[in-house]
Structure 1
């Protein structure tokens, strides 16, 4: 899959495609249905498929304090989209200049001149352009004028309710890992690079792989039985804490993973951590010794979970 960063990187060879527009956060089963719809049309017309997305997401630009936690960072989303036969991802920077762009200008510059879209899939509640004046009707009208088809995206429901990024976030926040996996169509994972930490875990017999998440907020918090991928012997089972580490006065989100029966040097490795089962919420302890005792209990609980699963 080709990543195109910004409108200015569009080239004549990028003209002629089928496209869809959205955040595609999580690339869940609902998104996958849209991508399947897009892929079928791309094959029919003999043109590439393009996902048009934004960085940051519009909500993150307009109301960063109220924006929901991301299910996937850009790197994770790229990896997920590539699995579902997307040919190109056009990532547009959402800033003040972009937000002030009239809807008609977006259609003219991006959809027509930049991409020469032949077929466009969007939700009928999709809004875009300055003051959110652009809508499905405006796109349909533009399509009729310029010869491209605009259609509603196919929704996908489970238990009579539409699959959405919000539903996935709610399941993760509630510790319902199985439900989140059902909505995503795959286990929930987070990716990142293993970094040096403060080495405190080592002093109490629980060395951890520390993964900085580069997020202000995470959709999942607490202590989990996990599996790590991207290292020798994968998947390697372990126990993980994701949160701010209140016992040691932590402030930023960090994923700490203690791997069972594993002592290789993996600093600097890009890894994926799959959340398998929630053990408990993150909590603050009065002392480091109390924390050590709880980690011991958590590790035993995770080992017992994996033993029961086999």
Structure 2
């Protein structure tokens, strides 16, 4: 690849292969995206997704951009899980923002990706000033020899599935709806780091994942699961600022139930959120906080007792 800053993740086919390609943010890789990927795989060619980092909305509206559903790593994991052979990522910067739609087609789709089949969403726009659209792609597809397919919007129960709708469901605590639209539980991935060991002092040791560099669309206390290469456990999970102890940065803390004190420091793990127990609260002292954590663990056990069908197996492949 010779376009400035163009790189790829996770290749399963020769770099010279002609490809079936889709382009987009793929934030969350939800069921609408999954339907698009199924159409992509029908071409009988190695498949590739072209995405961007940061997302275009983050570049143009950095202060107003909504929280992402998935980090780049989580997106790549999900795309791999749903059968994509190659994931290409273009750094979205001023140079890329000024590339004309025509140059985007000729230089990126044709010369670099060797696209022979292209699937895009029904509202896809691209290129400087968002001039590129389906009709332009079809016109140049005839010239350069690639086929273009438009994927219709995907709906469930009369509602269009979208990243925006999933984000709203998560922010409202409606994890069931978010899971239905995602086609899997909402999952956060990260590396376990050493914390201040307050949980251990209170009798509830936690696996800590810092979130200070990544806004997330959820906050509160949850019943869920933690998956690592060393095992999987049900867990009581906290996502927030920890106001009782004067926390200033967002952190995810997972207390694994019935775990034999696993050493997970430095491990990349996957944390699934299945049910919101309550909102984060500030308590007057540590004894009150400790009592609240004990209740959260009790409610987590009750949730899993009432939902025995929940499997301990992670939906993704290994994050390594």
**TM-score between the two structures when normalised by the length of structure 2:** 0.88
Q: 2:241 aligns with which of 239, 244, 254?
A: 244
Structure 2 residue matching 1:242: 3-state secondary structure: strand
For the 8 Å contact 2:32–2:154, the answer to whether it is kept is: yes
Q: Aligned residue for 2:56?
A: 58
Q: Aligned residue for 1:285?
A: 283
For the 8 Å contact 2:21–2:47, the answer to whether it is kept is: yes
Which residues of 2 match residues 137-148 of structure 1 at below 5 A? Answer: 137-148=135-146
Which residues of 2 match residues 141-180 of structure 1 at below 5 A? Answer: 141-180=139-178
Aligned-residue offset at 1:286:
2.5
Aligned-residue offset at 1:186:
1.2
Alignment length (residue pairs): 302
Task: Please state which structure has a larger fraction of its residues in helix.
Answer: 1
For the 8 Å contact 2:8–2:86, the answer to whether it is kept is: no
Rate the CA distance shift 1:14–1:69 in 2: closer, same or farther, 3 A.
farther
After superposing on structure 2, the runs of 4+ consecutive aligned residues of structure 1 that deviate more than 4 Å are 8-12
Aligned-residue offset at 1:15:
5.0
- Supply the distance in 2 between the matched residues of 1:5 and 1:159 (Cα, whole angstroms): 43
Q: CA RMSD in A?
A: 2.1
5+ residue gaps, structure 2, are: 309-320
Q: Aligned residue for 2:115?
A: 117
What are the Cα deviations for residues 1-56 of structure 1, in whole angstroms up to 9, with x where unaligned?
xxx99437799933521111101111111111000000011x1xxx3111110011
- Supply the distance in 1 between the matched residues of 2:258 and 2:179 (Cα, whole angstroms): 27
Structure 1 residue matching 2:192: 3-state secondary structure: strand
For the 8 Å contact 1:26–1:71, the answer to whether it is kept is: yes
Aligned-residue offset at 1:187:
1.4
Q: 2:254 aligns with which of 252, 257, 262?
A: 257
- Supply the distance in 1 between the matched residues of 2:95 and 2:178 (Cα, whole angstroms): 36
For the 8 Å contact 2:7–2:90, the answer to whether it is kept is: no
Aligned-residue offset at 1:99:
0.9
For the 8 Å contact 1:5–1:91, the answer to whether it is kept is: no
Rate the CA distance shift 1:271–1:9 in 2: closer, same or farther, 3 A.
closer
- Supply the distance in 1 between the matched residues of 2:197 and 2:205 (Cα, whole angstroms): 7
For the 8 Å contact 1:29–1:163, the answer to whether it is kept is: yes
**TM-score between the two structures when normalised by the length of structure 1:** 0.91
Aligned-residue offset at 1:114:
0.8
Rate the CA distance shift 1:67–1:265 in 2: closer, same or farther, 3 A.
same
- Supply the distance in 2 between the matched residues of 1:200 and 1:113 (Cα, whole angstroms): 55
- Supply the distance in 1 between the matched residues of 2:4 and 2:190 (Cα, whole angstroms): 21
Structure 1 residue matching 2:42: 3-state secondary structure: helix
Tell me whether 1:90 sits opposite 2:88 in the alignment: yes
Aligned-residue offset at 1:257:
0.8
